[in-house]
């Protein structure tokens, strides 16, 4: 009888011990499941954050519009499907003013260092993001069917009407004035000039025949067969080449994406596109 009681006690002890082991194992499994679930939730949240849609506004010189809209923006958006890029294009001086007045731009690319430097000095563009990316040439043009006998840049004096960018706000106008002044021709040419508010307006005046000749960037002249290039401005007529800097606007709410776009513009594939449109990489 005592042997049976003893055996029963041992059996009960074993059963209880087994229950405790199973219970502990279940708790460990539950803990592991909770950890795995938490990790997956964190990964999903992080992934969603990375793919959150972003819209960038790029304020760029008018001479950049074709390369941006035709090739560069589509290329960037394909590589970054969560980022949409919209562009606003005008003279660098006008865009500078708009940024000063609070336009919600994320990236600024100008056709001269003057406007960029001013915005950096005003703490409106982050200095450490600015890259002097491209170089352009200024050229004398006439309509494609013009019969004027122009062969050199200085032959601009033979034109009765001339289209120029406004030197007060349009970089190509500033370069034009500098070149013509150094050549001793500014007073004569400016007296018969109509001033465009951006380089596209100057190009159109010549293409449509409302001006006999004009001065634009080489890249703009290459966008249409309605004009022909007579000559580049002499190298010694400009103190510095026409440089295109790009940088992130300080007030941008999308700085990470904006910097990604600036970095993209400096890649080999983007530079190749710029070169196809007549720009030169600044080195």
Which residue(s) pair with 135 in the sheet?
243, 280
pLDDT in tens, the chain (283 residues): 444 344 444 443 434 444 444 444 544 455 554 555 555 445 444 444 457 899 999 999 999 999 999 999 999 999 999 999 999 999 999 999 999 999 999 999 999 999 999 999 999 999 999 999 999 999 999 999 999 999 999 999 999 999 999 999 999 999 999 999 999 999 999 999 999 999 999 999 999 999 999 999 999 999 999 999 999 999 899 998 999 999 999 999 999 999 999 999 999 999 999 999 999 999 8
Residue from 232, 274, 217 nearest 282 by CA: 274
H helices of the chain, where?
Answer: 2-50, 65-67, 73-79, 92-100, 113-121, 171-182, 186-190, 199-207, 218-221, 255-265, 268-276
Q: CA-CA distance, 175 to 163, in Å (whole number)?
A: 13
Q: Which residue has the tokens 């580049």?
A: 232
Binding-site positions for molybdate: 63, 92, 199, 217
pLDDT, tens only, 5-19: 444 444 434 344 444
CA dist 79 and 161 (Å) reads 47
Show Cβ contacts of residue 41 under 8 Å, excluding neighbours closer than 6 positions.
none
pTM: 0.76
- CATH topology classification for 54-135+243-281: D-Maltodextrin-Binding Protein; domain 2 (3.40.190)
Task: Give the C-alpha separation, 221 to 203, whole Å.
Answer: 7
Q: Summarize the annotated binding site as residue ranges.
A: 63, 92, 199, 217
For the chain, the farthest-separated pair of C-alpha atoms sits apart, in whole angstroms, at 133
Cα–Cα distance measured from residue 204 to residue 150, given in angstroms and rounded to the nearest whole number: 19
CATH T-level topology, domain 138-237: D-Maltodextrin-Binding Protein; domain 2 (3.40.190)
Q: What is the dihedral of CA 119, 121, 126, 130, to 10 degrees?
A: 80
Phi and psi, residue 169, nearest 5°? -140, -10
Domain residue ranges of the chain, discontinuous segments joined by +:
54-135+243-281, 138-237
What's the chain's average pLDDT? 88
């Amino acid at each position: 009888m005592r042997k049976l009681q003893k055996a029963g006690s041992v059996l009960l002890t074993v059963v209880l011990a087994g229950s405790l082991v199973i219970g502990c194992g279940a708790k460990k499994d539950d803990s592991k499941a909770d950890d795995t679930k938490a990790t997956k939730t964190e990964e999903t949240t992080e992934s969603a954050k990375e793919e959150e849609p972003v819209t960038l506004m790029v304020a760029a010189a008018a001479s950049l519009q074709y390369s941006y809209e035709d090739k560069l923006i589509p290329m960037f958006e394909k590589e970054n499907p969560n980022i949409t890029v919209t562009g606003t294009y005008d003279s660098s001086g006008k865009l500078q003013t708009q940024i000063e007045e609070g336009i919600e731009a994320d990236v600024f690319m100008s056709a001269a260092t003057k406007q960029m430097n001013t915005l950096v000095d005003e703490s409106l563009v982050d200095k450490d993001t600015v890259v002097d990316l491209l170089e352009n040439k200024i050229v004398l043009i006439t309509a494609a069917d013009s019969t004027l006998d122009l062969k050199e840049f200085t032959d601009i004096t033979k034109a009765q009407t001339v289209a120029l960018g406004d030197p007060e706000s349009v970089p190509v106008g500033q370069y034009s004035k500098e070149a013509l002044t150094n050549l001793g021709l500014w007073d004569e040419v400016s007296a018969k000039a109509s001033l465009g508010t951006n380089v596209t307006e100057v190009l159109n005046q010549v293409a449509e025949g409302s001006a006999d000749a004009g001065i634009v960037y080489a890249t703009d002249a290459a966008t249409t067969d309605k004009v022909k290039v007579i000559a580049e401005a002499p190298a010694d007529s400009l103190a510095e080449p026409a440089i295109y800097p790009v940088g992130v606007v300080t007030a941008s709410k999308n700085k990470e994406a904006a910097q990604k776009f600036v970095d993209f513009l400096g890649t080999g594939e983007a530079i190749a596109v710029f070169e196809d449109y007549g720009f030169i990489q600044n080195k």
